[in-house]
Amino acid sequence: MSDRHLTTVAGVEVDTRHFIGGRRVASAGTFPDHSPIDGALLGDIARGGAAEAEAAVAAAKAAFPAWAATSRAERARILHAVADGVEKRLEDLAQVETHDNGALLRSHRRGVMPRVAHNFRFFADWLLSLDHEDFETRGHTNHVSWDPAGPCVLITPWNAPLMLATWKVAPALAAGDTVVLKPAEWSPLTASLLADIAAEAGLPDGVLNVVQGYGAEIGDALTSHPDVRRISFTGSVPTARRIAASAAANLTPLSLELGGKSPLLVFADADLDLAVDLAVEQYDNAGQVCLAATRFLVEASVAEEFTRRFTERAARLVQGDPRDEATDIGPNIHPRQLEKIDGFVQRAVEAGARAVIGGHRGDGQCYAPTLLTDVAQGSEIVQEEVFGPVLTLQTFADEAEAVALANDTRFGLAATVATGSRERAERVTAQLVAGTVWVNCFFVRDLQAPFGGARHSGVGREGGNWSFDFYCDVKNTVTAPKGWDRKGSVEHG
């Protein structure tokens, strides 16, 4: 292996080539991958295009019949072996991902990478229990089964690269599908390590392929390929539109988890300390979380006290190097993202918004945690996803106004409600347009629950049976109660 295809990140060697059909494959061109921590070049990554897309889909197609025919028990065993490999390399994965996307090292060690292993274990175990009770129709027996669909293209984002990739990879592999994974070009390194881990775990060649590059070059070639049977994408609405148009010619089924502009509704009867805790949590991962409740909607009678407590708590947050255990907020992923965040804030201030805290860049690629008030419901800062540590605060007079404000965007990914009344929680949550609603909590995510968004926040649901419904062709077989002759053929008449 040529050293020029290896890069070392935090003492961990990472292959910068594609992984196709069980082999490492170089490309004629590369693209640079820089760390958001200090701008250092982490590596020159193989830059794939149509040729690499064709090779990866061909490898997935060739591997599909054997993998689809592999018993559930054997598929589950291999997925558990992948999870074992993740756990053995947990520190390597945590270090590499922190350098690659700037998220907190302590979070990667304690939560994110253990969750990566759990993703594989959960879907391996769910596969073994996947069943639907037979039912009768006028004496005929209905039997539901899940048939593997074929090669899948999975396109994943940069904000939680390996966790969000394995939310897709694990159920697709469990379902008996083969996979072409394209990670985001701003954070590709842990996907390469995953390919190594999967191969070492015994996953057959071609079952998992990893290709790197830009969406316009390799992404379009993947999503328009006629041999692809499923496409799952997490990312922005404009990219989703392009993917949907690309897939339309082949009627390829899509699962799209897109942006959010989620509300946090704080009612006067809420535990305000709990509400503030939930509010400060929205700065997690430097605000680069699609589910984040970036719009605070606070009952007017407690808005002043809520704001006072929030600013006191936010002032204690430590922003800086994500490798430091004391750091609460790290850098944003890329200079372009930093420019985008600052542009949103400066336009909002010019339009009359007031920065209660923040409103400016920090050191390096950090953006200061920001809370904006005096914002109009129809303004850009309230309606569009910023994807940075920027929150807004508006007030409401009653439940009806709270719900109206909460639902008044084109998104519908999530919502969070803080209230001391069970009855109010039931009334309000029933009216909110969202794929997930949290009451007096945030980011409690169980893989057996459906996950996805409404409106422009997405299409489809994944998790538990919903994942297998998407990654499989669900079949119903109806059998007559009698009519078999002694030779085993069906009698007619």
Active site residues: 257, 290
Among candidates 367, 362, 343, which has minimal Cα distance to 286?
367
Q: Report how far apart, in Å, the C-alpha atoms of 63 and of each of 20, 58, 148, 346, 431 are.
A: 11, 9, 12, 51, 46
Q: For residue 190, give every residue at least 6 positions away whose Cβ sits within 8 Å of its Cβ, in sequence order, or none.
A: 93, 96, 97, 100, 161, 162, 165, 183
Helix (H) or strand (E) holding 255: strand 254-257
Whether residue 277 contacts residue 357, with contact meaning beta carbons closer than 8 Å, is answered with no
Task: For 51-80, give the DSSP string.
Answer: HHHHHHHHHHHHHHHHHHHS-HHHHHHHHH
SS3 state of residue 402: helix
Q: Strand pairing of 390-396 and 414-418?
A: unpaired
SS3 state of residue 243: helix
**In which residue are the tokens 């204690």 written?**
316
The phi and psi torsions of 370 (rounded to 5 degrees) equal -125, 140
Whether residue 425 contacts residue 415, with contact meaning beta carbons closer than 8 Å, is answered with no
Task: Write down the number of H helices and E strands in the chain.
Answer: 16, 22
In what order do the strands lie in the sheet containing 135-137?
135-137, 140-148, 472-479
